[in-house]
Structure 1
Amino acid sequence: MMRHHRHNNHTLFHTPKKIVPPKKRWRIGSILWIAFKRTCMVVGAMVLLSAALGTTLSVFAVNKMENPALPNEMVLYLPLKDAFVEHENTGGAFGLHEKALVLRDVVNALDRAAMDTRVKGFVMKLEGAVPSLAHNEELRTAIMRFRTSGKFAFIYAPAYESLGAYYLATAFDQIWLQPMGIVSVPGINMEMPYARTVLDKIGIEPQFFARKEYKNFFESLTSSEMSLETREVMTALASDISSHLFKEIAIARNMTDQEVRARIDKGLLTDDEALATGLIDRLDYSDNLSAEIKEQVTGNPDSDDKIFATMNIYIKQMKKEKKLTSDMAVSKKPKVALIYAAGNIIQRDEKGALAAAENIIPVIREAADDDKISVIVLRIDSPGGDPVAAEAIRRALVKAKENGKKIVVSMGAAAASGGYWIAADADYIYALPTTFTGSIGVTGGKVSLKSMWENIGIEWDRVQVGENAGLWSLNHPYSPSEAARMNAMMDNVYNKFIALVANGRGMTLEQTDKIAGGRVWTGAQAVDAGLVDALGGLDAALDYAAILAGVKNRSDLDVLMMQEPKTTFEKLVELLETQTMMSGFFHSNQALFETVAAGLRSVTSSGYEGFLVR
């Protein structure tokens, strides 16, 4: 059996000296750096854990609390805390907080409630948020349809603080205002800041090109006052929108146009003035409204019956019942695809942006390849964006048409510039009276910081290969050659833009150029200009799609939401990915942090070399 002998350094002739380990020296810089890194790791882990745990618990709590059985007699109640969104995936905060209501869900719920014998009425309370004018249009139309069923609709607010809020209120049977509240309806005021003077003072030179005279996106930087073209457009927009709002308010409140304008000219009305001039119906408190509704529904103002069902709960139950029905039987209704292009039009986005080309094009192709789908309804709510991305989306829609699909566009609050680019080839286009559309033009450029650097004593020098290599440098203005290339790009994009609009709308290039030039139109103006076929919201577009599909209206359709809402798990993954990105940023910049730490260590060691912590 072999034994393993323990070897050491002792020999007959040598006994090593006992080695005394040096005293450990701690430097303040190193301690702070290590503490910083470990603290970041601990905090990050705690954030991730709390997010996961909080989300899981909230999902269970929400599912348990928000799915109660609906009463046999009820009044729908909508406390409007946030503006509506076009699609669930456009909500912020990763969708983990309280969800903003989707406009189409609310409209569908009101249409369903009008036929639901359990629902006796609808009451809304404004709690700060006011939808956009375009969303107001669609919601008002739905509320008026609801009222035709003979059911009441009341609205209550501590104050009506804008013309948009009051415009929405006029769709209801009764407008209630809390005592001491105000009605602020000061008309329409459009303002733009102009920064050219201050930019000149600090040495920043804006260099932007536009096609054409009405494409004023960068005017706030290039000018010190409003141009004649911008003033012309903004005056026309304000006039058209105000005329529409005043007319609808006059009809709803049984007033003349002159009477409405007289009240608008006052701007701000006290509670008593609002009641005396007929802008509101009741000046009272919310508890009295609740008691009045209870008496109307149950016959007892002090009833303990829980008759109020929130819109959120009703929508959840409505979707649950629809899913059960669809699971039990295969729908024989014609199928129509509903696709959303909401937000800036960009080429790619990892978070699933609805108007990103890489996200929406596969959805369009999926609908185009489905033999059961005959019509694609494209809902656009976009101010524009990248022309390359817009062209890619338009191409996908053209291919869908070549595949036998009809394309119907519904414009939301905006379908301008790139938003109109993707709409131009549609078979039929709907817009709301207050939609902003058109803006058929292009703009772009840069700012030159050359004078600013000179003012603060910094000189930039360069070496370049290629006559226009400095095209995108912010440290030098455009050279004549570079400016020529920018102008060539502007002309190319503009000419192709008006060509595709002319082709899609059946106009000549000359006709298209007259209504283009970068000019923004309201939906109503766009109908007159030939850019839009009819006024109406998403419901009108779906009704038209139904006719194209061979049925009477949208109730006879099986509308397929092609972009499914993200699940709670998917939203949680997005949050975790963001945390990972933050961690990646930390690691990718570790060299920078190490440099800072080294500097800190050098400072502490040079100043406190003799100060050691043992």
Structure 2
Amino acid sequence: MYFWRSMGKILKGIWKILNITREVILNLIFIILILSVVSIIGLVSDPDGINNTPQSGVLVLDLEGVIVDSTPYKQDFYKLSKKMNNNKPDLKLQNSLFELTQKIDQATNDPNITGMILKLDNFVGGDLPNLQYVTEYLKKFKNAGKPIYAVGSNFDQKQYYLASIADKIYLINQGSVSLYGFATNNFYFKSLLDNLKVNTHVFRVGTYKSAVEPFLRDDMSPAAKENTTRWLSTMWRNYLNDIAQNRDEEADNLSPAPNIMLSRLKAVSGNISEYALENGIVDNVVSSHQADQLLNKAFDAAPELSIYDYRLNPTKMSSSAEQRGEMDMATPLIGVVFIDGTIATGQSANNVAGSDSIVKQLQELGKNKNIRAVVLRINSPGGGVYASEAIRSEIAALRQQDIPVVVSMGGMAASGGYWIATQSDYIIANPNTLTGSIGIFGIIPTFENTLAQVGIYTDGVATSPLASMNIAQNLSPEANDLIQMNIEYGYDNFISLVAESRNMTYEDVDKIAQGQVWLGEEAKELGLVDELGDFDDAVTKAASLAGLSDYQLDWPKKESDLFAILFSDYSAILPKSLAQLIYNQLPISNQLQQHIAFWDNLSDPQNRYIYCLNCSDIK
């Protein structure tokens, strides 16, 4: 009796400690939340804050982080989060492609903006089609008689792509310009899975369907290398041609063969800055102080205005009827829908295109009598068959209402992205869009051997071998056959969708399918897309199909609720840890995030996936 009484006291003591610990942690979280809210309110009410910056002078394109098609929140939130981090560079900041280009377009016609300075040291990049789209707007700015200067300490290839359009490029002493070529890498997990005794069951159709290779191999297969080498080499050639044209230089001068580059570098005693100057890559090598003096002289000491402080006219990016105002209620609208990230069931989130969210948006557009056409902007490597088909079916419903749908392909529209595109009236791709990857696979990991290592087993009875499928048991031969047949049916369905939408034979589609990835310019030749162009071309085509000469774009509404933002993306308002900053700079961090997003969204009811994991993270 004494023993049990003593044990009771010990357990009560442990429970009391746990309760106190829980209350302390909850109180700390509550205090942090309150401080965050108070800080934000203080920033919003700050008379010297973000909304009172003079809107004149030299526009400074001091981009931080990455350019993406769409961002979930309004820009003011990102500016507030930056202020809460003491204005430190945010290498994970997401910049909306279309807000950025609309600002450049507005500045082109703004008499208060006299020129532009590109400061890109904290710019991480974006896919090549997005960089090309930004550059087109920079060209318009330049052609309007407004000079552009670029200054930087170390230009990587994505930074240099934008800088190449400048009238003058100033490189800071001891700086460099890295123009070495494109590369794409991946993680491979076969040995890890073997060591963990994970039994990975893979079902696929398509010789080149390389998305499953990380789970089956420790390296890239020869077939995947052949396919990737083809499109990556073409993309690099396109990149070189663009910067050579922008700089009015020979491509071989800007990025010669390695042996020639090393020979030229040796001739200037290994001085990389001098090498860049001698070969027409930059126009001047200067100190930071000299760069400031040159820019002050070029712009008559006009004040500098950050692109983040330059306010966009609300009508430029209106996203709802309320914002457009009652006067414009009768104006015909072209709806814009983003499919950005891994396609999965559920709600959209960062790097995830949730089919529930997108289907709801498409349905709302269908109910809006002012919507006359839709532009579907796809930037996705694909995802689940079920989620992709849900979106494709809803597009079909729009077209049955005589609402034309035009697809604008961004950096990638592969696998599930292309599955969705088959239901459109017209497809426009960038020459460097990664598309195709028409194939399908299934993946089911089972952990019976992993559990056995620690002495855990599972057993039971079932009325058939198909009734007891679970991750703690190996798949039966019957289950393997069932899943494989379902995958083969899915591939047949995919080929048939493409053949019908593109007016091709089943056999012709099969030849260019098998999971092969194609660049946009190749896809045009193969008949997978209708036209090469950008988002603006897609809008023009949508207006033409709808017979519109006067219209407005109806953009998706962005989140503005403070508490929703705090709870859904608290990381954006908290200081970035050293580990985060290091992780962001890993050569293949984006690829790792793609893997995580993919594994986190293995939610297809039939375990069927149309996904192109190798269509990203090009360096």
Q: Do Structure 1 and Structure 2 share a fold, with TM-score over 0.5?
A: yes
Mapped pair 1:489 → 2:464: no
2:150–2:166 contact (8 Å) kept in structure 1: yes
> Are positions 1:341 and 2:335 aligned together?
no
Is the alpha carbon distance of 1:575 and 1:52 closer, same or farther for their aligned partners in structure 2, counting shifts above 3 Å? farther
Q: For 2:239 and 2:184, locate their aligned partners in 1 and report how far apart those are by CA, in whole Å.
A: 16
Aligned residue number for residue 135 of structure 1 = 130
CA distance in 1 between partners of 2:562 and 2:29 (Å): 18
Shift in alpha-carbon separation, 1:446–1:149, aligned structure 2, 3 A:
same
For 1:24 and 1:201, the matched residues in 2 are separated by 45
* Number of the residue aligned with 2:467: 469
Match of 2:81 in 1: 97
Cα RMSD after superposing both structures: 3.2
Letter in 2 for 1:35: I
Q: Which residue is 1:588 aligned to?
A: none
The within-5 A match list for 1:91-490 is: 97-98=81-82, 100-128=94-122, 129-161=124-156, 163-197=157-191, 199-200=193-194, 203-262=197-256, 266=261, 270-298=272-300, 303=301, 307-314=303-310, 316-319=311-314, 326-327=324-325, 329-330=327-328, 333-349=331-347, 355-452=353-450, 459-476=457-474, 478-490=475-487
Whole-Å separation in 1 of the counterparts to 2:365 and 2:245? 42
Alignment partners' CA distance in 2, 1:355 and 1:325: 25
For 1:238, give the aligned amino acid.
L
Residues 417, 437 of structure 1: 8 Å contact kept: yes
Cα 1:37/1:528, change in 2 over 3 Å: farther
Asked if residue 539 in structure 1 is aligned to residue 536 in structure 2, the reply is: yes
Contact 1:443–1:490 under 8 Å retained in 2: yes
Asked if 1:76 corresponds to 2:78, the answer is no
In structure 2, do the counterparts of structure 1 residues 158 and 29 end up closer, same or farther at CA, with 3 Å as the change threshold?
Answer: farther
CA 1:206–1:325 in structure 2 vs 1: closer, same or farther (change >3 Å)?
closer
Query: How far apart are residue 24 of structure 1 and its match?
Result: 11
User: Which AA in structure 2 matches 1:309?
Assistant: L
How many angstroms does 1:149 deviate by?
0.8
Deviations 1:520-557 (A, max 9, x none): 112222212211222222222223223334456xxx53
Structure 1: 5+ residue runs without aligned partners?
A: 1-22, 577-614
The equivalent of 1:562 in structure 2 is: 556
Name the counterpart of 1:3.
none
User: Cα–Cα, structure 1 residues 118 and 90, in superposed 2: closer, same or farther, change >3 Å?
Assistant: closer
- Give the CA deviation at 1:391: 0.7
- Identity score, percent: 27
8 Å contact from structure 1 (residues 194, 221) kept in 2: yes
1:58 aligns with 2:53: no
Name the SS for the 1:244 alignment partner: helix
2:29 corresponds to 1:35: no
Q: In structure 2, how many angstroms separate the alpha carbons of the residues matched to 1:366 and 1:547?
A: 22
The structural deviation recorded for 1:384 is 0.9
Q: What is the CA distance between 1:120 and its match in structure 2?
A: 0.9
- The TM-score normalised by the length of structure 1 is 0.80
Displacement of 1:54: 1.7
Report how far residue 363 of structure 1 moved. 1.2
1:505 aligns with 2:502: yes
Which residue number in structure 1 is paired with residue 614 of structure 2? none
| 1:325–1:399 distance in 2 versus 1, CA, 3 Å | closer
Extract unaligned runs of 5+ from structure 2.
Answer: 83-92, 266-270, 571-619
Deviation of 1:88 after TM superposition, in Å, equals 2.4
Could you tell me the TM-score, scaled by structure 2's length?
0.80
CA contact (8 A) 2:348 2:354 kept: no
Distance 2:43 2:479 in 1: 60
Q: Secondary structure at the match of 2:81?
A: coil
Q: Whole-Å Cα distance in 1 between the matches of residues 435 and 331 of structure 2?
A: 33
Contact (CA 8 Å) 2:179, 2:254: kept in 1 or not? no
Shift of 1:450: 4.6
Describe the SS at the equivalent of 2:411: strand
Question: Matches of 1:339 and 1:273 in 2, distance apart?
Answer: 46
Q: Where does structure 1 differ by over 6 angstroms across 4 or more consecutive aligned residues?
A: 23-26, 320-325
Other structure's SS at 2:299 match: helix
Larger Rg: 1
SS in 1 for 2:395: helix
Rounded Cα–Cα distance in structure 1 between residues aligned with 2:57 and 2:547: 36
Matches of 1:529 and 1:512, distance apart in 2: 9
* Residue aligning to 1:44: 26
**d(CA) in 2 for partners of 1:182, 1:421:** 42
TM-aligned CA distance change 1:286 to 1:567, over 3 Å: farther
**Structure 1 residues 362, 26: closer, same or farther in 2, change over 3 A?**
closer
Distance 2:171 2:437 in 1: 40
The separation in 2 between residues aligned to 1:186 and 1:196, in whole angstroms, is 31
Contact 2:337 2:555 survives alignment (8 Å): yes
After the TM superposition, which of the residue ranges 326-335 and 402-411 deviates more from structure 2?
A: 326-335
Shift of residue 336 of structure 1?
A: 0.8
Distance 1:472 1:147, change over 3 A: farther
1:15 maps to which residue?
A: none
The separation in 2 between residues aligned to 1:76 and 1:174, in whole angstroms, is: 16
- Structure 1 residues 204 and 57, CA, compared in 2 at 3 Å: closer, same or farther? closer
Q: Does the 8 Å CA contact 1:334/1:549 hold for their aligned counterparts? A: no
Corresponding residue number in structure 2 for 1:599: none
1:49–1:246 Cα change, 3 Å: same
Cα separation, partners in 2 of 1:308 and 1:343, compared to 1, 3 Å? same
Separation in 1, partners of 2:518, 2:308: 35
Asked whether the equivalents of residues 382 and 416 of structure 1 are also in contact (C-alpha less than 8 Å), the reply is yes
CA contact (8 A) 1:339 1:563 kept: no
1:88 aligned to 2:85? no
Separation in 1 of the partners of 2:405 and 2:102?
22
- Alpha-carbon deviation of 1:354? 6.8
Q: What per-residue deviation string (whole Å, max 9, x for no partner) do you get for residues 152-203 of structure 1?
A: 1122222013x33322321222222211112222212233444435544654
Q: Distance in 2 between matches of 1:170 and 1:575?
A: 35
Which amino acid counterpart does residue 148 of structure 2 have in structure 1?
A: A
State the Cα distance separating 1:348 from its structure 2 match.
0.9
Secondary structure, in 3 states, of the residue corresponding to 2:99? helix
